[in-house]
């Protein structure tokens, strides 16, 4: 299959033109599950117009994902560019016969591309090459296993898949707790839709992108003051970033620590967040 011409137009975005870009993609019509199935079949037959349509209909979701990785060393425009390449790869690989909605499949590819770009940048700053490589391997293994098991894999399953020591997986999860695809259906929901599925219906458009980004930036600034273990516990405990809410024992099993240690990390993190929120005059409800 030839490369799609849209590649350059959706990746060569200057940060200064983001507002215009948000307006453009907000006008792109969404597509339903039946259309996704039809487009996926055409894509496998080499139909570039179908690939183009599937990608453009989902560009807004790349922005939703990219915003979660702000303030980690890359401009927003670059994060979106990397995410768009992940979206394009997902569109080429999507198998509609598996029964997944496209965005539930694509979000992993979007996050993987963004995380690998961030890790490449981080490699030069603070992490040794072998640790970065392990994080990438754990990220990929988690995505594969989650699709096979239809749930999040635990550490020993990831270690077995990678044929490596469990402590290496544990270390990778601590260093980079946001490298996984957590677009599982919300346990409190009856419709089986994930957070990103709902965004397809509720996405606010260009004005919403700009308005919510200010709040997201404040939250990101607060969370950036926590260490990796504290952030992991907070994200799992409160179900942030598309995670399902987990209990202290469940978080402990995920991170390889005791439930009591999870409670200690949670309490310490909450205290830090409250103190920094007061300093920034930011309301936490």
In a domain, 245, yes or no: yes
| Dihedral Cα 273, 275, 276, 280, nearest 10 deg | 130
In a domain, 246, yes or no: yes
- pLDDT at residue 210 in the model: 35
In a domain, 280, yes or no: yes
5-9, 14-18, 75-79, 104-108: least confidently modelled range: 5-9
Please state, in angstroms and rounded to a whole number, the distance separating the CA atoms of residues 265 and 55. Answer: 40
pLDDT classification of 279: cutoffs 50, 70, 90: low
In a domain, 236, yes or no: yes
Q: Is the pLDDT of residue 10 over 60?
A: no
CA-closest candidate to residue 142, choices 102, 114, 183, 93: 183
Q: What CATH number corresponds to the domain at position 251?
A: 1.10.10.10
**Mean pLDDT estimate for the chain:** 72
Three-state SS for the chain is CCCCCHHHHHHCCCHHHHHHHHHHHHCCCCCCHHHHHHHHHHHHCCCHHHHHHHHHCCHHHHHHHHHHHCCCCCCHHHHHHHHHHHHHHHHHHCCHHHCCCHHHHHHHHHHHHHHHHHHHHHHCCCCCHHHHHHHHHHHHHHHHHHHHHCCCCCHHHHHHHHCCCHHHHHHHHHHCCCCCCCCCECCCCCCCCEHHHHHHHHCCCHHHHHHHHHHHHHHHHHHCCCCHHHHHHHHHHHCHHHCCCCCHHHHHHHHCCCHHHHHHHHHHHHHHHHHHHHHCCCCCC
pLDDT: is 203 or 64 the higher one?
A: 64
Q: Model-level pTM?
A: 0.46
64-68, 126-130, 253-257: least confidently modelled range: 126-130
In a domain, 78, yes or no: no
Q: Is the pLDDT of residue 179 over 90?
A: no
In a domain, 10, yes or no: no
Q: How many domains does the chain have?
A: 1
Give per-residue pLDDT as tens, 228-245: 788 888 878 877 655 567
In a domain, 50, yes or no: no
Domain region containing 273: 225-285
Q: Is the pLDDT of residue 55 over 90?
A: yes
pLDDT classification of 161: cutoffs 50, 70, 90: very high
Give per-residue pLDDT as tens, 134-149: 877 887 887 788 777 7
- pLDDT at residue 278 in the model: 62
- pLDDT at residue 242 in the model: 54
In a domain, 198, yes or no: no
- State the average pLDDT over residues 161-182: 67
- Find all residues with CB under 8 Å of 26, minimum gap 6, and list them: 60, 203, 205, 206, 209
């Amino acid at each position: 299959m030839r490369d799609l011409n849209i590649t350059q137009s959706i990746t060569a975005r200057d940060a200064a033109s983001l507002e215009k870009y948000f307006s453009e993609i907000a006008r792109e019509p969404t597509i339903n599950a039946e259309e996704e199935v039809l487009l996926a079949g055409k894509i496998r037959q080499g139909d570039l117009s179908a690939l183009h349509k599937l990608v453009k209909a989902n560009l807004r979701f790349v922005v939703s994902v990219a915003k979660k990785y702000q303030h980690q060393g890359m401009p927003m425009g670059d994060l979106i560019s990397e995410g768009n390449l992940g979206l394009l790869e997902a569109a080429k690989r999507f198998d509609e016969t598996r029964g997944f909605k496209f965005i539930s499949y694509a979000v992993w590819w979007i996050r993987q591309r963004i995380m690998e770009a961030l890790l490449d940048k981080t490699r030069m700053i603070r992490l040794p090459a072998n640790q970065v490589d392990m994080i990438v391997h754990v990220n990929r293994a988690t995505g594969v296993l989650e699709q096979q098991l239809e749930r999040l894999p635990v550490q020993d399953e990831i270690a077995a898949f990678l044929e490596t020591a469990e402590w290496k997986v544990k270390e990778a999860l601590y260093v980079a707790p946001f490298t996984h695809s957590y677009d599982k259906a919300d346990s409190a929901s009856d419709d089986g839709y994930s957070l990103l599925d709902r965004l397809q219906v509720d996405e606010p458009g260009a004005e919403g992108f700009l308005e919510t980004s200010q709040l997201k930036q404040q939250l990101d600034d607060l969370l950036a003051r926590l260490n990796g273990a504290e952030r992991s516990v907070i994200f799992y405990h409160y179900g942030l970033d598309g995670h399902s809410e987990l209990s202290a024992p469940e978080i402990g099993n995920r991170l390889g620590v005791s439930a009591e240690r999870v409670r200690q990390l949670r309490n310490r993190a909450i205290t830090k967040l409250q103190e920094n929120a007061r300093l920034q005059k930011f309301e936490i409800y």
